């Protein structure tokens, strides 16, 4: 989810990833990537 940081910066505190995780080749890695992007938005 490439826009996660932008969404968090705009004030989002909950993101729904759905297919970005469940259809990923490696769901655990997809979640880690999403969490990393969210941290970028927090500062």
Q: Report pLDDT for 1.
A: 73
Q: Please report, for residues 6, 13, 26, 29, 40, the alpha-carbon distance to residue 21 in angstroms, rounded to integers and kept in the order given.
A: 19, 18, 8, 9, 19
Per-residue model confidence (pLDDT) at position 43: 84
Q: What is the pLDDT of residue 11?
A: 96
What is the model's pTM?
A: 0.81
Q: What is the pLDDT along the chain (43 residues), one digit of tens a residue?
A: 789 999 999 999 999 999 999 999 999 999 999 999 999 999 8
Query: So where are the chain's domains?
Result: 4-42
């Amino acid at each position: 989810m490439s826009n996660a940081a932008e969404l968090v910066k705009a004030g989002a505190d909950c993101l729904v990833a759905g297919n970005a995780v469940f259809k990923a080749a490696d769901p655990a890695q997809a979640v880690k990537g999403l969490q990393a992007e969210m941290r970028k938005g927090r500062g």
